[in-house]
Amino acid sequence: MDYLTILQILDSTVRLATPLLLTCLAGLFSERAGIVDIGLEGKLLAAAFMSGAVAYVTGSIWLGLLAGVAASLAFSMLHGLASITFKGDQLISGVALNFLAAGLTVVIGQSWFALGGRTPSLSGNGRFGEWNLPFSDAWSKIPVFGPTYNELISGHTALTYIAILAVPVSWWVLYRTRFGLRLRAVGENPSAVDTAGVSVVRLRYLALVIAGVLCGLAGTYLASLAAGFVKDMSAGRGYIALAALIFAKWRPWYALSATLLFGLLEAIGNRYQSIAIGDFVIPVQFMQALPYILTVVILAGFIGKAIPPRAGGTPYVKER
């Protein structure tokens, strides 16, 4: 394996990890506020469909981005209505959203475009273009650093750089601001926050708004990357993002590492359809299943004990 091949795999890793990272950060905010968000998959799917549909009709991926964020926010508010306002079971609400998104995207897609639930292919301004960073071409001839800068660091879409920037911003918001302190406190001890005169309901809804925006960005990225929407195109990424969040122990920087690991496994699975070890050939199905196998391993607890926010999954009932 030469250096250029390694760079191509790492470049693919970053591209595949981008929607996972955005979705993982969305789950981070909602779960830090005490809302278990199984519905990440549904928000991702709804955003991908709406962004792909609007981008095709208008010819602008930026209008598609707004539509994708709006669709994801609508699903977030529906989850908040069920689990915060009506104090329903958060797991059931999230699963219901996933089923709703899987069905609605196909039905509406068939009604609008008559392509079996798909949207027509996106092209031109209907997709995000690559951003070439300054001096990427001029420095490409420099040994080692040049190809790394040109192939790996430069040449990604705007949402990839936004996703990476969102990691330190999320860390700063959660650990260096009053809002972040209150948000984390709501996930640990909501009664104490309520006693201090801060609205638990408001904070949890704000967390879901942030989660909705981040899932909207992730869904739009998927639609742009695949040049349109395809039925069930999220392919379990919402669940993988949740597993990455557990792996990261609900911390932003660890979330970046965890999602890059999942992206690397997917990139390897896509690059090497089969690997021969002596006379034994690892089948292509195993390579493609690597991210999902790691998800099961993480959820089975083989990576050590991960302690979630104490109030997670519990509706808050104000004491009289």
In tens, the pLDDT along 219-256 reads 999 999 999 999 989 988 999 999 889 888 899 999 99
Tens digit of each residue's pLDDT (9 = 90 or more) over 110-163: 999 988 888 999 988 999 988 888 877 777 778 888 888 888 888 899 999 999
Query: CA-CA distance, 206 to 245, in Å (whole number)?
Result: 19
Q: Work out the pLDDT band at 281, boundaries 50, 70, 90.
A: confident
Residue 304 placed within a domain: no
Residue 211 placed within a domain: yes
Give the number of domains in the chain: 1
Residue 24 placed within a domain: yes
In this structure, what CATH number is given to the domain that contains residue 93?
1.10.3470
pLDDT recorded at residue 308: 84
Residue 283 placed within a domain: yes
Residue 232 placed within a domain: yes
Residue 37 placed within a domain: yes
Share of the chain above pLDDT 70, in %: 95
Residue 320 placed within a domain: no
The domain in which residue 89 lies consists of 3-299
Residue 135 placed within a domain: yes
Q: Which residue's entry shows tokens 């359809």?
A: 273
